[in-house]
Structure 1
């Protein structure tokens, strides 16, 4: 049975991803097969997990997915030696209203699967208080078991000693302590980490993180504290309908935010995916029956996308007879115009009237529950879809017929309804699952 652990923390930005990658690579170097998962709707981290382990990672999300779907997704870890689930935000951070099987908190996954939690604690600006925080997290929710902690970004040996003593007195195991080490810092941008495929040196960075963590963390003690987990048998798999039989999928640095489990579910249902690169001025495959533009960073490549005439004309020709759908950044590119960070407006595909601006930034973040008012690829009117929205672009105009009535996690109706015109549809949320 695989050794299983959840890597979490009191908050974002304390080193969960770095520790997860380092542990995964360090154990892989020992000859162990490691399977990673990402708790929550982050679509960037799974690619880092795959780079560290050589195995595809997927998201598991208690707000959007039912227990059967989560069990199906994690069952791929049954043939691994170690299973690591990286959390999102703080351990208990989720939304106020319960979703399908929870609030989206990492603690939901830890309790649901029975996987012990390793906390990453950054005690910068504090000492013994770090133990109080760890003890509070340990005792906050029955059913969530704390295996121990890894301390990160310690200022000095004296600092480490103070924190260790307090944690020992609280009965909390310390697996190791990491001094500050800039060489293993992962670069970031406005929507999170710079994507793994954009970092040429990502393998070397993960190797250095693994070396550093192995030097300062007792890897054997962490494994000993892990749970022994056996995947449960699941009768059904993912309840996701592919948008078509042969799908032209935009994939490059501007269109990369795709949940791995979605692509897997499309293929499992018999669909064929044919990728193309708008940044390389490629048009969607003419033999496809649907085109899908995922989110990404089109705001960073707006000028190039506007200049790529073959891509835009090919997309327009495709949409004359077949459905085209865009999610978030893909939706923005289907629109009439996109204003970049410098305030320069760029003409987009014009299949929808949407106009957006990255110069006027406002964060849009949260779970979304949409009820379709019109069909979109793979889904009929009345379908209820669960997804997540995260972007900084402002809507300047959204003149087309709304695609859906969209609610946030509290049930409030939001303005980002999506749009439809002819064969083109778009949403600001990234689809995670069909939901109730």
Structure 2
């Protein structure tokens, strides 16, 4: 049963009636382009087949009532709250995510109450954008109840900005635009080349040709709101101000950094080199040469580990074990401080999975979750 089917089934059980509709949004893997989005840079994500689904129906009393159903089948109910009363700080925990979306949409004239039942199979805390999948699915559901269906790049991009505002200003996580845009705009069998500054998008064909993008969920949990993510972002903003540019996107390899505080130089170096790596990987995908992306994937991880300092021992172990077993490239993906890595596994390299599992077992670490990432469709209405 798909997440959408489960959401519809649970809605009927909980409310004794069918939902008005079911909408879903995917998690994402970022192939390359990490921590560049909030620096007006370049990113290259693709959507996962794993999704968060929201079954929804309107309420006449103006309340937002959300229920999430986890893998154990037990529903967790958020305290219903009037949409008219929503304000940052009023709702905490997981319920802040759907509430923040309703708060943002209220400013766009979407003020009705709703019953929401949420299910999904995007691993939480794995750096695969489960929270953004939730928010994007809720956004489509609340818009759908108002008979609004965003279509086309411009409308979906505007919605991504609204979702980002809900997370930045309501939830309190200082994320960029990568995850929301990926969840809403990705298409099947393609990676999304996004210029965050201009908003320009290109759907780049992803020809696997026997290669596997192996996701390694290290099970080292992370939380962007509670981690050092915000510190890195503030460091980038400070560096841009000291360099006299709008964002680190405007820094070139030739820009002198000697006058910057020493702790800021590695942040700048990562952003500059990561944007260059994104361009090279896009060129390789356009040419259908997936193998050529490997060195840049690995260089990205090195930069994230050493310059940006957002890796962790579990992520480094996953990357090192995959490379030693024959992966042509590997890197952490997502915000870091835990979560997942990806490994580009060529045809015939059958020992990568076993090598990663063995490496974790040798360190007495919990076995990572492994699965193949296949570029999939973005958010949409299911029923």
- For the criterion TM > 0.5, the same-fold answer is no
Structure 2 length as normaliser, TM-score?
Answer: 0.30
Would you tell me which structure has more helix in proportion to its own residues?
2
So what's the TM-score if we normalise by structure 1?
0.28
Identify the structure with bigger relative contact order (alpha carbons < 8 Å, sequence gap 6+): 2
Which structure has the bigger radius of gyration? 1
